[in-house]
Structure 1
Amino acid sequence: MWLPVPADLTLLPNDVHVWRIDLDVPEPQLQNLLETLSSDEITRANRFYFPEHRRRFIAGRGSLRSILGGYLGIEPQQVKFDYQPRGKPVLAPHLSNSGIAFNLSHSQGLALCAVNYQRPIGVDLECIHAMSDIETLAQRFFLPREYDVVRSLCGHQQQEIFFRYWTCKEAYLKATGEGLAQLEQIEVVLNITEPAKLQTVDDWSLFELTPTENYLAAIVVAGSDCSLQCWQYSAF
């Protein structure tokens, strides 16, 4: 599913490209990525207390710059960002006329970057892990019918369903720019064997992915008739 990038990579109007990014990269590659970051990104990286978190932030932002630079036809260090009120990065005004829209999500040592043309897009990635308060969180953030589904399961199935709900809802909120306070307003219909669907919103496409073992992800993009293509990013 995760293909190497072709030499003639093209992003068509209905395409959604999803990039899988390994954040635990060798030191030489990390230094190359560090050199592409802006001064404010380097400041953010240096605020991390744990070196592992600092390295993964550098790898994520450097890889994002490299990916976007490839679409824009510019060097990674020439990519400039603005930030929406809730902190979502977007291309700076002088680059936004390209029509490129993107979103990045990371968890542990993995990240996903979703890219398309002109449509609001959101991606969420989560590493599945055991939690003692899954039902409490589901009752707080999910709709009653969703909570009932979570409560009806146990063990790994309960964890998987919870994180499927969470990634789908979070991806939609990231696409729309809304906050977590709206999490319980989004109805997702899913079960163990069927793909998820957004029940309460119109004209949005939802894709679920399993990027690797013990990870779940969702991509939400405005509109329909989207073609999903998945690429494996290779750091330079």
Structure 2
Amino acid sequence: MRTPVLDPEEIHVWFVALDRIRVTEATDILDDSELRRATGIRHRAGRFRYLSAHLALRTLLAGYLGVVPQLPRFERRCPDPDECGGCGAGKPALRAGPWPEFDINLSHSGSAALLALCRAPGVVGVDIERIRSHFDWSRVPAVGPSGRVAGFRTWTGIEAVGKAAGTGLRDMAAIGPPEPGGIRRARLPGDVSDWYVSEVECPDGYVGSLATNRPGVTVRTYHWPPIDP
């Protein structure tokens, strides 16, 4: 598969069909920390999702970097290192290497995953959720009373902003109504910076959102493994 060129003014989002990935290759591609993390996941389905998603991450990222999938290494970057003293928590990030600096983010749910990439200094966060029946969003103050699908869309936007900023759900973003083009602005508590949230097109049964600090960026969506014509 030929990897597309990632323009500095673009974000690439990959929808990954996890049930089409062979996890037998995991021990040859994932590093020791990833394999230990997978071993610690008790449920077989969860362990399979983790292995499949990280195999996809390494395979696709290797294409952009022009290296073998085993080479990239990752670290966690705390958004407030001066306060936490390097606690080892925070947003997963690609370590510096002989390649351009990318910001990456990964999310998985059910049998699907989303991987987003952009060039620094842009940052990106992504979230995907399998739509569950009879979910009462009125129990979630950050979303409030909402239709089932609309509630999942808002929630994935909140998650995507937290992942882009590296704060997780410690501080939940307030997301505004859709603007022309479908973009929704969001802000984290105590922060005057705008985040830009857009919906990611997903197959039936899933919703996904992407958040970035860059207005007007072009988002391109791909599928992996490729869909047969």
TM bucket (normalised to shorter chain) is: 0.7 to 0.9
Which residue of structure 2 aligns with residue 70 of structure 1? Answer: 63
Specify the SS of the correspondent of 1:24.
helix
Cα distance in 2 for residues equivalent to 1:216 and 1:177: 21
Tell me: CA distance 1:8–1:161, structure 2 relative to 1, closer, same or farther (3 Å). closer
Which residue of structure 1 aligns with residue 129 of structure 2? Answer: 126
Percentage of pairs with the same residue: 27
Tell me: CA distance 1:32–1:132, structure 2 relative to 1, closer, same or farther (3 Å). closer
Equivalent residues of 2:164, 2:212 under 8 A apart: yes
Specify the SS of the correspondent of 2:57.
helix
Which residue of structure 1 aligns with residue 82 of structure 2? Answer: none
- CA RMSD, 1 decimal: 2.3
> With structure 1 as the length reference, what TM-score do the two structures score?
0.80
Tell me: CA distance 1:180–1:12, structure 2 relative to 1, closer, same or farther (3 Å). same
Cα distance in 1 for residues equivalent to 2:150 and 2:28: 40
Equivalent residues of 1:188, 1:196 under 8 A apart: no
Which residue of structure 2 aligns with residue 172 of structure 1? Answer: 161
Alignment of 1:204-215 (within 5 A): 204-215=195-206
Which residue of structure 2 aligns with residue 155 of structure 1? Answer: none
Equivalent residues of 2:16, 2:225 under 8 A apart: yes
Q: How many residues align?
A: 210
Specify the SS of the correspondent of 2:139.
helix
Q: 1:22 aligns with which of 17, 25, 31?
A: 17
Q: Which runs of 5+ in 1 are unaligned?
A: 151-157
Q: Which runs of 5+ in 2 are unaligned?
A: 79-88
Equivalent residues of 2:15, 2:112 under 8 A apart: yes
Cα distance in 2 for residues equivalent to 1:101 and 1:123: 11
Q: 2:171 aligns with which of 178, 182, 185?
A: 182
Equivalent residues of 2:58, 2:72 under 8 A apart: yes
Equivalent residues of 1:127, 1:216 under 8 A apart: yes
Residue 20 of structure 1 and its aligned partner are, at CA, apart by 0.9
* Structure with the bigger percentage of helix: 1
Deviation by residue 1:67-126 (Cα, 9 ceiling, x = unmatched): 11111111100010011234421011335x612111001001100000110111000111
Equivalent residues of 2:176, 2:185 under 8 A apart: yes
